[in-house]
Structure 1
């Protein structure tokens, strides 16, 4: 899958990536031949239900796969380096933090409870920016200010337990920024926060992306988060990317039945007094070989070929691709539910007005 004439510079390129895990003598294929480009300055959201492989994919970019996981084939190209070929911690230290940093979903597991938050941020400033003493201290205070923490000199001396969940997440973001990265990966960054704090953190991340010139990757199952932050969306299912495109293309002109199912699950598409839509069935067993389209057994629009042959990526536009046989010119036309068609129509109208 290649995106023709893309106006932005490619910063990272994943090509034909296969990631496997060995478990009790069996092999689980967690990532199944994925290709995806990341462009400088963009905000890419990787969406899918739990177990779809989102976190495994980004962990492979940072060299954080579990010990029983390994890259079986493919490349992860960054700055003329193939990260898939890195074998030692020494190799990864050139990249992790300094070039690519991560904000995790649970800030308490990322922070040392025995160190003040100022010292934890300052350690990263010293290690990755080469600053010392007063210079490192003042950069730390500036980072605390940039992530929206007030009274920074007092806060510098406090411990993680003295902060709320939202404030702790801001500190984790400050630690990531202290590394001065080019790419910031946000793995479910608002899952542990209440709705009002979620909105604040997402707005903060958007502001910081502009201020620091970051390329951001969001890992999420929450389409509400995606709508607020993403320039582009990649939809994952069972270790595969099944649709990728600009945010408005995927949201309001999605082509894969799994994308339709995710959007149909949004509460605003429900009818009063009726049960919310849910995707029937369960994801496939990744210990077994998957034939055809992995979503076929749960797909009410599945064709016979979906159970036999994996669909190729069909081009919808220069920026929009979907892996579904329904885009083959020979496939029958399908009738979508009225609520979904109305959502698409309303979204396209709104996008045209902007």
Structure 2
């Protein structure tokens, strides 16, 4: 983390949806603090609430969703209390921008790429006409699009998937936001392009002084870009720490399971690890630790009482009863121990 200045503070957020006459609790009392200039990765299985959580920062919840309780403090304003489009228009894009998963559906096929970047500039940066166009070309160049003047006049269908993703990033950056949320920014791209996009975001973060939130289900993707990692499960943040703490000294059994699922930890000829069971039904009230039914190390109390956060270090905490001083000592899986040993050896080599 570059400094201790908070740019966003979420406290005990509860988000509910009405679906076919039933109520679903998508976010169950999640809390998080975001610091200026950092890269924070929010990871977890599909359906764990990552996108819903961050969409609430921009007023992008579906019409049947609502913030039930809790607060989202940004620049001394509680965004959880915002109700109208007039309120959100001051935040959306200008203060907090988002790069969505699918670049093809994010772009207008009937407008040139340059015009779409220019629109953001005209809307949020008080520049018009030639001035806005000049900046749009500069931003297209910044996101790694060669011959930006020529590409400015082209349409989205003339771009490859990786190039479209660069355009979507350019549109978000053109808003000149403080916070950039990247929702699975590399999902639809092949591995080499993934690395290029992540490096691009790193470069843009420095140039435009961005605070970035990455949303992903793949811990491997964010290993080299995240300063901190928040692990989400069933609508709650169950572990939060510096990147190296969560990778090499994870404490929650769900984080163990997520890391064990990484293909690079697999052993040739052996079946890849997968987490048994399914996430809980969010239409029902969850008692105790939501991961308990899938946790081979679950204690009796896991099924009865929700664990509080236990502090591991000043920067690392986890919601698991295994950290209670009275709990039996449980060693992490061999794959986690192996990762730790590899890191220790790497550190020794560097010394």
2:262 corresponds in structure 1 to 266
Contact conserved, 1:107 with 1:165, CA < 8 A, in 2? Answer: yes
Alpha-carbon distance in structure 2 between the residues aligned to 1:171 and 1:348: 40
Question: How do 1:127-142 residues align onto structure 2 when only pairs under 5 Å count?
Answer: 127-142=123-138
Contact conserved, 2:248 with 2:336, CA < 8 A, in 1? Answer: no
1:216 corresponds in structure 2 to 212
Contact conserved, 1:296 with 1:302, CA < 8 A, in 2? Answer: yes
2:225 corresponds in structure 1 to 229
1:181-234: CA deviations, max 9, x gaps? 000000000001111111100100010001100000000001111102100000
- From 42, 49, 63, the counterpart of 1:46: 42
Contact conserved, 1:118 with 1:156, CA < 8 A, in 2? Answer: yes
- From 94, 105, 108, the counterpart of 2:104: 108
1:20 corresponds in structure 2 to 16
2:4 corresponds in structure 1 to 8
Contact conserved, 1:252 with 1:348, CA < 8 A, in 2? Answer: no
1:335 aligns with 2:323: no
Alpha-carbon distance in structure 2 between the residues aligned to 1:89 and 1:248: 40
1:92 aligns with 2:88: yes
1:248-268: CA deviations, max 9, x gaps? 000000000000000101112
Secondary structure in structure 1 of the residue aligned to 2:70 = strand
TM-score by length of 2: 0.98
Alpha-carbon distance in structure 1 between the residues aligned to 2:317 and 2:82: 30
Shift of 1:346: 1.8
Contact conserved, 1:235 with 1:241, CA < 8 A, in 2? Answer: yes
1:282 aligns with 2:278: yes
2:33 corresponds in structure 1 to 37
Alpha-carbon distance in structure 2 between the residues aligned to 1:141 and 1:6: 30
1:297-329: CA deviations, max 9, x gaps? 000010000000000000000100000000000
2:305 corresponds in structure 1 to 309
Contact conserved, 1:20 with 1:72, CA < 8 A, in 2? Answer: yes
Count of residues in correspondence between the two structures? 350
Sort the Cα spacing of 1:145 and 1:31 in 2 relative to 1 into closer, same or farther, 3 A.
same
Secondary structure in structure 2 of the residue aligned to 1:229 = coil
Shift of 1:89: 0.3
Please provide the CA RMSD for this pair.
1.4
Alpha-carbon distance in structure 2 between the residues aligned to 1:298 and 1:6: 37
Secondary structure in structure 2 of the residue aligned to 1:67 = coil
Sort the Cα spacing of 1:273 and 1:107 in 2 relative to 1 into closer, same or farther, 3 A.
same
1:126 aligns with 2:126: no
Contact conserved, 1:248 with 1:351, CA < 8 A, in 2? Answer: no
1:150 aligns with 2:162: no
Secondary structure in structure 2 of the residue aligned to 1:176 = helix
Unpaired segments ≥5 residues, structure 2: none
Alpha-carbon distance in structure 1 between the residues aligned to 2:147 and 2:4: 39
1:78-100: CA deviations, max 9, x gaps? 00110000000010000000000
